[in-house]
Amino acid sequence: MTDYTLYYWPIQFRGQIVRAVLAASGADWDEAGMQPTADLRAALPAEQPVPHMGPPVLADHAAGTTLSQMPAILGYLGRRHGLMPGDPGLAAMSDKIVADANDVLYEMTLYNGAQMWTAAAWADYRPRLARWMTLFEETGRRHGLSAEGGTLLGTGAPGIADLTAATLWGVMTDRFPALRPMLDATTPALAALCDRVRARPDQADLQRWSDARFGDAWCGGQIEASLRTVLEAAGTSDDTPQAG
Amino acid sequence: MTDYTLYYWPIQFRGQIVRAVLAASGADWDEAGMQPTADLRAALPAEQPVPHMGPPVLADHAAGTTLSQMPAILGYLGRRHGLMPGDPGLAAMSDKIVADANDVLYEMTLYNGAQMWTAAAWADYRPRLARWMTLFEETGRRHGLSAEGGTLLGTGAPGIADLTAATLWGVMTDRFPALRPMLDATTPALAALCDRVRARPDQADLQRWSDARFGDAWCGGQIEASLRTVLEAAGTSDDTPQAG
């Protein structure tokens, strides 16, 4: 029996942050896979192991607990595996980074695919995406983020904040290389943090495993197709990063 | 000097859950008001007291800490004022309820007004809103929710989970009375919980103060206008609750 079972779609996206934390904590987990995740999501609330609207859902077998909601799962894992700051203010900032990441994932998929990207919508959104990057970097800078370390981001042993920031921005720019120059130019310290965290053996192993299992998919579906289309079109006319 | 300053719009909505927790903890706070909140939001990240995309923002004057993101603020206040369960699994479920509430607020405003409600969109959404209600009630039921109490929702001294659930559903159905029959019929124990928590003197005082200060506004803006329009239209043709 593994330590955990993760119910999530066969993509990276929101669930990859949970996987990054599981990998960093040295936990074993099973992936329930596509159909069991879909079945769990469609079940009546009274029949779900935790009443939830959608994945990720994580079962902790030793504790007999099942949780949904990425921010709640990360808070739980962070406290269980010593990946949260002890200081209450820093712990709250770690929760804040997780909530920001969740918002970025909503926005990049136009709220889980409620709309599709168009060239005009992407052009409008791009400065806001740059501002999100800046919010992460500035938050790190306030807490000493540098190539040598930091107390919230850039810690010697990556915690929830580091793993969330590195997975959000690192995986996004890995799946959409057209966005990497924007990250490098807008927030070089954040870009370097992503690389440092993702070069650690547990994270590099996770990335290789994920690439083999999930292929090129990031968020998947029609919304990913529309995002790839607008990024390709933007790349031919404008590949210089914009300040935001 | 008050204990806290809250930067939020002059509406109830997401910020009202922060206010409910401040009121329950017996804290004093100032409302920064509309223009300072707008100015703070528009400032460069390097000049913001906490780098953030939008309010609510809460300054804790004694701690010298400023936070953004409703879930992070609630986790911070909950731990500071003894309003979180001590058990790690229950604390994570409290975080899960907060994340669910945040999602409901996104959905009810079509992602902070990214689109406007139409009669067809509302008809499509209504079963999902009922399912959200059921998720809250079923979560409470698993933890003993009854008129006599409960360990997560319905606790003797309302914590973050109670205050979040009661403010989300209680304020929504107070501002949109057409939705109250749906709450009563779909999730009677949740509806009763809302009434019990909101009848407590600190919460009743807060509601009177909010009504006087913010009037009828819930989320405000064009999105609220579009929601009122579809609810009025639906009320004339179909005022019976639907199971979901």
Q: Do B126 and B166 share a domain, yes or no?
A: yes
Q: If you write DSSP's letter for every residue of A188-242 in order, what string do you get?
A: HHHHHHHHHHHTSHHHHHHHHHHHHHHTT-SS-HHHHHHHHHHHHHHHHH--S--
- Report residue B157's pLDDT band, with 50, 70 and 90 as the boundaries: very high
Looking at A34, A59, A80, the residue that finishes a domain is A80
- Identify the domain containing residue B62 by its residue range: 4-80
Domain count, chain A: 2
Q: Do B116 and B217 share a domain, yes or no?
A: yes
Q: Do B181 and B217 share a domain, yes or no?
A: yes
Looking at B48, B80, B112, the residue that finishes a domain is B80
Q: How far is CA B219 from CA A178, B21, B66, in A?
A: 36, 19, 24
The pLDDT mean for chain B works out to 94
Tell me, yes or no, if A92 comes closer than 8 A to chain B by beta carbon: yes
CB pairs under 8 A between A and B: 124
Looking at B53, B80, B107, the residue that finishes a domain is B80
ipTM above 0.85, yes or no: yes
Smallest Cβ distance to A92: which of B67, B96, B99? B67
Q: Can you read off the two tokens belonging to residue B44?
A: 């460069």
Report chain A residues whose CB lies below 8 A from the CB of B69.
95-96, 99-100
Q: How far is B241 from chain A (nearest CA, A)?
A: 18
Q: Quick check: A53 and B132 CB within 8 A?
A: yes
What is the C-alpha separation between A209 and A215, in angstroms, rounded?
10
- Specify the DSSP element, H or E, that contains B90: helix B88-108
Among residues B228, B209, B208, which one has the least CA distance to residue B218?
A: B228
Q: Quick check: B69 and A139 CB within 8 A?
A: no
Q: Which residues pair with B4 in a beta bridge?
A: B29, B60
Q: Do A27 and A112 share a domain, yes or no?
A: no
Q: Can you read off the two tokens belonging to residue A108?
A: 């990049």
Smallest Cβ distance to A96: which of B69, B131, B134? B69
Domain-embedded: residue A243: no
* Local mean pLDDT, 10-residue blocks, chain A (244 residues): 96 98 98 98 98 98 97 98 96 98 96 89 97 98 93 95 98 97 97 98 98 94 95 70 45
Q: Do A132 and A176 share a domain, yes or no?
A: yes
Tell me, yes or no, if B108 comes closer than 8 A to chain A by beta carbon: no
Tell me, yes or no, if B86 comes closer than 8 A to chain A by beta carbon: no
Q: Is the pLDDT of residue B241 over 70?
A: no
Q: Do B134 and B213 share a domain, yes or no?
A: yes
What is the C-alpha separation between B66 and B82, in angstroms, rounded?
19
Q: What's the pLDDT score for residue B237?
A: 54
Choose the weakest-confidence range: B87-101, B127-141, B227-241: B227-241
In chain B, % of residues over pLDDT 70: 96
Q: Can you read off the two tokens belonging to residue A122?
A: 């992407």
Q: Can you read off the two tokens belonging to residue A201?
A: 């053996």
Domain-embedded: residue B158: yes
Is A140 in a helix, a strand, or coil?
helix
Q: Quick check: A96 and B135 CB within 8 A?
A: no
Choose the weakest-confidence range: B12-16, B135-139, B240-244: B240-244
Tell me, yes or no, if A56 comes closer than 8 A to chain B by beta carbon: no
Report the predicted TM-score, pTM, of the whole model to 2 decimal places: 0.96
What is the C-alpha separation between A206 and A156, in angstroms, rounded?
19
Q: Do B127 and B30 share a domain, yes or no?
A: no
Q: How far is CA B178 from CA B78, B170, B181, B217, B238, in A?
A: 32, 13, 7, 15, 10
Q: What's the pLDDT score for residue B236?
A: 58
- CATH number where B27 lies: 3.40.30.10
Q: Do B178 and B73 share a domain, yes or no?
A: no
Q: Is the pLDDT of residue B73 over 70?
A: yes
Q: Do A70 and A97 share a domain, yes or no?
A: no
- Report residue B242's pLDDT band, with 50, 70 and 90 as the boundaries: very low
Domain-embedded: residue B173: yes
- CATH number where B93 lies: 1.20.1050.10
Smallest Cβ distance to A67: which of B75, B92, B114? B92
Q: What's the pLDDT score for residue A113?
A: 84
Q: Do B213 and B172 share a domain, yes or no?
A: yes
Q: Quick check: B72 and A96 CB within 8 A?
A: yes
- Dump pLDDT digits (tens) for B85-122: 999 999 999 999 999 999 999 999 998 888 899 999 99
Q: Which of B48, B57, B84, B95 to mutate to test the interface with A (most CBs of A within 10 A)?
A: B95
Domain-embedded: residue B176: yes
Among residues B81, B85, B38, B82, which one has the least CA distance to residue B57?
A: B38
Q: What's the pLDDT score for residue A237?
A: 54
Q: Is the pLDDT of residue B244 over 50?
A: no
**How do strand A57-60 and strand A4-7 relate by DSSP bridges?**
antiparallel
Helix, strand, coil proportions of chain A in percent (round to 5)? 60, 5, 30
- Dump pLDDT digits (tens) for A202-220: 999 999 999 999 999 999 9
Q: Quick check: B106 and A106 CB within 8 A?
A: yes
